[in-house]
Structure 1
């Protein structure tokens, strides 16, 4: 890992740079796929599935038979673990429900807000070397609680044209409406425009590689909302000399194994502790099945020493990590001071893995610094707020004159007339 000591503030932008390609590097490919899917529908989906995933599928819709077969292949231990995670995720997200908010702003003017589910949503679930069935729980469970009508799930097939059994089992458990064996750019394009078999959706959720991230951003140009521009995974750990070096190393590696473009950072106020973590990483990485991937991610990662907690906090807020772990004696200082982070993990017995799977919080989080302006996925992500108002005779008399003056000042005579006619009839 790269060791950096007391970087001056003017260098923070370079020090904290993510190892991601720019949009310009890949948007030409994304545009090309989108254009063809819009024009040719399923034919384009099949073409790009063959090109990118190496499999030609005549039928890319998952059948009931495939789901039944998948259920037999999932072990009972995994089924129990999924059930526990689902229960905790359900509890945490159900607690986020809010009641109707009603206020009488002045006598006779009642305003209220109610929430409605987004009717049609699309879920993107990465497959490949790490089939993220846990992400289905994070997305389909709150969608179910919100009351979303149609839930379409897209996930890439393997070379045999099949989907990981755990993905199919979890999707069925969470009552996903339709499961489609399509991944990458073409999946996002399919849900954006709709094809003969892939329904058009109103909002797309889910993480993916940089191509999927750019595809989601392009989808917004065609009237489809997205959860956030979530890209390669990242983790920042703040740890001092009181932390456990082996624990910290394991946390850093847990994110590094996601992908070669993942980034992990340790910020510490102890040089000796940094050395211990580096040694622990070297010891632990040799035992990982995804060692090669983790090693490439570690090349993009950093150990940063700063003199004090205040500087550390300022640097962390500048970075805006997707995941932020606090293993420091003065943990309350960091809990109270963190402004920019997707999800925060406090204390030495709170690994980031807990949030990824079973504690109950959502693991679909903003990356690449977007934690400065985006929230992670939550129940409200699957809903929209609608405002209502009802005004009585007394109410329109109370605010009518103000509306007339304001409309007149803006030169909008019809706006003024809409009130004036009513006030005239009430005299």
Structure 2
């Protein structure tokens, strides 16, 4: 058990016997955590994450104040013990998510938080990411008991979400993520459906990059380019979670921007980003436009998020290492369902200048179309 001041953290890694070697290697690489390896009790049965999760969350040590569960295919940041205790100390009563996938809606909030200097992002996706999570010890024990009542078809992510929602316990994602998802395949087949699921913002030296505090990014909308191929503006209220989100270009139109004005800004940024153009990147204008739109909308959120609409404030935000790292994963998070892994890095590098250009254009546009602040919010 890891102990630091008033924090006593017990920890478990949930694993399938096929990944026994990786699970024990993770345990041995971090002896200070006292990780207990919890193997699937029925590995020949139908694939079911909840089966192992029950035992992993029930493995809370006596005297622990908090409990960490990680999956067997993760990499922990350098200085993880110091980073995770600092994280817990900053939000001791909250569920703390240490990884979120680069293509999720929550990833966009993580990127915004990195730009504005906040340590936490609220989970805005339908499910709490279960790859690496810390709960207060009493909550971990209660969840283990709750999980015993569930059918094996319920995933651990869905179960955690239902459990925490019922308790009114909001989950927060660390900025940066302290854990990376290190596997290209999934025993549940997620890699076939979702592609490679890397972190939105993983920093190997996360504990030294920026001191962590209790600050949380406050958002009312999330610009997201998902499987539909269209950038939409998701509202973050719980009552609207099932509503069809409006396309981003419609929202810009409501702010007073005409179609030609929007496309002119896009084409101007594309000319300044030749590596992203169709002839170099291989992507057509419709896709590039939607990619740019997502970042334009993020840029339009930043004047109010930063509390400063000056160009200097934006450039300072963009220059921070965490901001750069978070933005660099955005193209891959969109493309991971389209391209094989070996092509992701090159394509992301080609497309990144257009994404950063979109942020700058969105930021500047709020001075001409002030309703952007009102409609996109923070």
The TM-score, its normalising length taken from structure 1, stands at: 0.24
Greater length-normalized contact order (CA 8 Å, ≥ 6 residues apart): 1
Task: Tell which structure's C-alpha radius of gyration is larger.
Answer: 1
The TM-score, its normalising length taken from structure 2, stands at: 0.26
